[in-house]
Amino acid sequence: MRAFIFPGQGSQAVGMGKALAEASAAAREVFQEVDEALGQSLFKLMSEGPEDQLMLTANAQPAIMANAIAVLRVLEKEGGIRLADKADFVAGHSLGEYSALCAAGSIDLATTARLLRIRGDAMQAAVPVGEGAMAALLGADLVKAQAIADAAAEGEVCAVANDNDPTQVVISGARAAIERAIGIAKDHGAKRALLLPVSAPFHCAMMQPAADAMEQALADVAIQSPLVPVYANVTAAPVSDPGTIRTLLIEQVTGMVRWRESVAAMFEAGVADFVELGGKPLAGMVKRIAPDASVASVVTMDDIEALAKVL
């Protein structure tokens, strides 16, 4: 069995998608459709920068999605591959869940781009700059990370945001609490604790205003049953019902990204082959979660051609 997986924020870089667009009309069509949906030249920003503008959450989220879907469309149109024939599940890390839903035909491309723009704006606006923070706890599993977060909270928000793999967990919350957590992390068994260069404390209770915004944004969106089940971040379980998908996308804004559990559950369900589309950050996580699984990161035209030969 095979799963197609989609990266989240942090995988953006100036130049992303440029070579693919030069090589493939299918990729150019994706970037043009996203530009039209957003009413801006996002692809120009992806190709040329400036980097500080691409790094803004409201730009990075649709850019990462567009790049991943472009890779998929090239694979489908030029490689003759149908996702429904070659994938048993899809999943994505945080915003990557939107890419996964788009890939599986649950939400159309233009709508996905607009939703991610709203999501990025809302997440940025939810907490004033400087009041929130996130930190990566390296060499810490979920149990250790939860203990660190609980000890550091002192009445403020300090929560596990991303359970990425057995050796890397991200916490999120009030800046002072996150700084306390960094200070005590080694005492609780973590090897290192690093403040992350993010503009807001994602996936914690401080994001409730953004969750409210997404509830409003998703209310009138047409969501179809996906071609293959989507493993949801919030539940680490497959979902196909459109109403449930809508609810989980709202809960995802404040909820923990249960990536480790999702990959483990897919592996236990029989997935031996994970294909990451549009980036590379998930491959290492998958190998640490399921060492016996095979993982391919597909970004370039050469990657796509190589994958098409083995699918």
Tell me which residues are annotated as active site: 94, 203
* H, E, C per residue of the chain: CEEEEECCCCCCCCCCCHHHHHHCHHHHHHHHHHHHHHCCCHHHHHHHCCHHHHCCHHHHHHHHHHHHHHHHHHHHHHHCCCHHHHCCEEEECCCHHHHHHHHCCCCCHHHHHHHHHHHHHHHHHHCCCCCEEEEEEECCCHHHHHHHHHHHHCCCCEEEEEEEECCEEEEEEEHHHHHHHHHHCHHHCCCEEEECCCCCCCCCHHHHHHHHHHHHHHCCCCCCCCCCCEECCCCCCEECCHHHHHHHHHHHHHCCECHHHHHHHHHHCCCCEEEEECCCHHHHHHHHHCCCCEEEEECCHHHHHHHHHHC
Q: Take residue 12 and report the two structure tokens written for it.
A: 């953006």
Task: State the Cα–Cα distance between residues 80 and 194, nearest whole angstrom.
Answer: 43
Pairing of strands 273-277, 294-298: parallel
| Torsion angle defined by CA atoms of residues 27, 271, 116 and 130, in that order, rounded to the nearest 10 degrees | -120
Cis ω before 238 (30° cut-off from 0):
no
